[in-house]
Structure 1
């Protein structure tokens, strides 16, 4: 079972979040927290939903309105998705660099052309920019 497993009925989720069940229904209608539904259409909240409800409560206590909170939660979700994508791309890049023997460095000429240089080789002219990224091993 993980934090995204919908296991809590509305009464239990409300108790865990320190809110009234009617507040949870309102937040669901507004799209602040969207729990899963059972076949009988009753709400089931995950631990992640409960944490999000607590965050909504904290932000409300700080004086933010519900539309502002909705916007913050949307942006936080986007940041989390983008961070996951960056980690995925960094991992793919690291795997690619490890699989390619004879790593290469690339230089850009004034004209904009990119040339490949063998590792350990310097660009011939001083007006060329060498772009490289050191390999980090964990």
Structure 2
């Protein structure tokens, strides 16, 4: 089941969160929980919304004000979005590393022998010539960029 799918009517969500339906309406007005709307403007809550309601209840019982709870939820959402972005960037970086590793640098010696150079390593003067080999996909990507 999709955690974010809005399936619960207000009475069921209130029962799952152990709250009164009027409390859910108030939290909706305050923007603490924003359920989806079905045709006819009926509220529909997801399992994620119910979890948020339980968290609001827990924080409220610990003495946190509704404004404090709103700020906490806002910051948690921001952290979640940033973690998602870090994951995206990490994947992109890993992809670029794989692509960079597939680009090989070779040096051809005077006798015709081929030596693979590591990144940053330079051929010895007067003994080798530098040859750069790029896969066909890299040449195509460069041509498209120009």
Provide the rounded CA distance (Å) in 1 between the counterparts of 2:31 and 2:82: 21
**Mapped contact 1:102–1:119 kept (Cα < 8 A):** no
**Mapped contact 1:33–1:53 kept (Cα < 8 A):** yes
Three-state SS of the structure 2 residue aligned to 1:59 is helix
1:5 aligns to what? 5
2:82 aligns to what? 82
2:73 aligns to what? 73
Provide the rounded CA distance (Å) in 1 between the counterparts of 2:21 and 2:6: 16
List gaps (5 residues or longer) in structure 2: 105-117, 122-146
Q: Which has the higher helix share?
A: 2
1:28 aligns to what? 28
How many residues align? The count is: 109
Higher radius of gyration, 1 or 2: 2
Query: What is the CA distance between 1:119 and its match in structure 2?
Result: 2.6
Three-state SS of the structure 1 residue aligned to 2:3 is coil
TM-score, normalized by length of structure 2?
Answer: 0.70
2:93 aligns to what? 93
Three-state SS of the structure 2 residue aligned to 1:23 is helix
Three-state SS of the structure 2 residue aligned to 1:7 is coil
Aligned CA RMSD, in angstroms, stands at 1.9
Q: How does 1:33-52 map to 2 (within 5 A)?
A: 33-52=33-52
Query: What is the CA distance between 1:60 and its match in structure 2?
Result: 0.1
Provide the rounded CA distance (Å) in 1 between the counterparts of 2:120 and 2:10: 63
Provide the rounded CA distance (Å) in 2 between the counterparts of 1:42 and 1:64: 29
Query: Which runs of at least 4 in structure 1 moved beyond 2 Å after TM superposition?
Result: 118-121
